[in-house]
A = this chain, B = another copy of it.
Amino acid sequence: MGDFHYVKIGDRECLQEWKDKISKELDKVMDFWIQHSEDKEYGGFFTCLSQEGIAYDDLKYIWLQGRQVWMYCRLYRKLPRFHRPEILKAAIAGGEFLLAHARPSSDSLKCAFVVTRDGRAVKIQRTIFSECFYVMAMDELWRTTQNEVYKKASREMMDQIAYWVREDASGLGRPELPGASPVNSMAVPMMMLNLVEQLCDEDEEATNKYELLGAWSVERILQHIQRDGLAILENVSEDGKELPGCIGRHQNPGHAIEAGWFLLRQATRHSDRTLAQTALEKFVLMPFSSGWDEEYSGLFSFQDVDGHCPTQLEWNMKMWWPHTEALIAFLLGYQETRDLQLLENFQTVLNYVFTRFPDPDHGEWFGYLSQEGKPQLTIKGGPFKGCFHVPRCLYMCEEILSTLLEEDDKAIAIC
């Protein structure tokens, strides 16, 4: 796919063309996963897939198992063309794999980070993220199947995560060290807000139960607005102050933009105009402006707020996921505000993305480009890339564009 050209941005014709292209790309991407990633013997998914879709490793990363179950269920539930028995079957097999093998010990809800093909734990991270994607999978699986086992599993795990995050983190196994001050890493409240949105959707009981957690998450995310409102910093102190050194100056534009659309959804649910404005200005537009590479286009992976060279070797690589988050954020922002500048930014990112990331030969996207935009890894999936950011973005953009087109229909009907 090349550039998109329109008479006028935001016109019906423009929205329709975007929707068609995005919807076609979603089909292509899902075909790749459906064809190559399902483990028909043990359940769950192979995610270490080569350019052609061949499994070059059979390890199962729990983040990616949970995300793929979620994605399959969400598409099955929401888009009629994905309401197919084989998709449901694979999602359930993935869910059952997680129920049986995500937790290495039956005494604890702590999940592994990666397990063998048959489910034996290989590595455990001392964080909450495997558990969070487990919750997403279980909750979406419950909504899809109405099987209460999955609901119970998601709620149990959610309560455990909330306890680790808000009450006592010692169960995660991280040693307390005198030089390691507690850090408010933006990933944690972001993930919590994302889970609150997931669990509370059309569920009054959950909405009542998790409302305070949602508010707490928003407050913790907002603490990352630093430098007199001129920068989002990825890590701050527990009381919302800038931390010294690299950790304090660390910026992750894609993450800030993702936080932006999480906040925007929260603002919409609560009709909170101030929060919506903060989300768009501080978390979407500001990191997009400072994180965009003026020389070669694309979003940098990491930056240092003072302009030092980051120490992460991949700092200047253009990764798939910050760009998918930017697409969601700009389109959602436009839906909420009808600000055409957001739609122009959407188009800028869309043009960059569609000329660089998709693999025309074998489907799905390359994940890791050089600063100049050339693929550096040919893999379609690996320990951190699976069936998630690309299809979630395409599905959400398709859904938003459909809504915009429907509203346009209604407007015409009223005229």
0 or 1 for each of A354-388: is its CB under 8 Å from B? (1 = yes): 00000000000000101100001111001100000
Return the chain B residue nearest A246 by Cβ. Answer: B57
0 or 1 for each of A111-128: is its CB under 8 Å from B? (1 = yes): 010111001111110000
Q: Is the CB of B314 within 8 A of A115?
A: no
Interface centre among A50, A177, A379 (most CB of B within 10 A): A177
Given contacts A48-B246, A104-B177, contact A56 B121 (CB under 8 A): no
Chain-B contact segment, one of A257-265, A305-313, A401-409: A305-313
In the complex, what's the smallest C-beta–C-beta distance from A239 to chain B, in angstroms?
19
A175 at the interface (CB under 8 A from B): yes
Q: Is the CB of B121 within 8 A of A177?
A: yes
Tell me which residues across on chain B come within 8 A of A130, comparing CB atoms.
none
In the complex, A240 Cα to B245 Cα: how many Å?
43
Interface of chain A residues 30 through 82 with chain B (CB within 8 A): 48, 50-51, 56-59
Tell me which residues across on chain B come within 8 A of A135, comparing CB atoms.
none
A179 at the interface (CB under 8 A from B): yes
Q: Is the CB of B370 within 8 A of A121?
A: no
Q: Is the CB of B368 within 8 A of A122?
A: no
A180 at the interface (CB under 8 A from B): yes
In the complex, A184 Cα to B175 Cα: how many Å?
27
Category for how many chain A residues contact B = 35 or more
Tell me which residues across on chain B come within 8 A of A178, comparing CB atoms.
104, 120-121
Q: Is the CB of B179 within 8 A of A56?
A: no
A251 at the interface (CB under 8 A from B): no
A315 at the interface (CB under 8 A from B): yes
Tell me which residues across on chain B come within 8 A of A303, comparing CB atoms.
none
Tell me which residues across on chain B come within 8 A of A112, comparing CB atoms.
177, 179
Tell me which residues across on chain B come within 8 A of A56, comparing CB atoms.
246, 304, 308-309
In the complex, what's the smallest C-beta–C-beta distance from A322 to chain B, in angstroms?
14
In the complex, what's the smallest C-beta–C-beta distance from A296 to chain B, in angstroms?
13
Tell me which residues across on chain B come within 8 A of A123, comparing CB atoms.
177, 180
Q: Is the CB of A48 within 8 A of B311?
A: yes
Tell me which residues across on chain B come within 8 A of A179, comparing CB atoms.
112, 114-116, 119-122
In the complex, A58 Cα to B248 Cα: how many Å?
12
CB within 8 Å of B: which residues of A?
48, 50-51, 56-59, 104, 112, 114-116, 119-124, 175, 177-180, 244-246, 304, 308-311, 313-317, 368, 370-371, 376-379, 382-383
Q: Which 9 A-B pairs have the closest CB atoms?
A: A120-B179, A122-B179, A116-B179, A120-B178, A57-B245, A121-B177, A311-B382, A313-B314, A309-B378
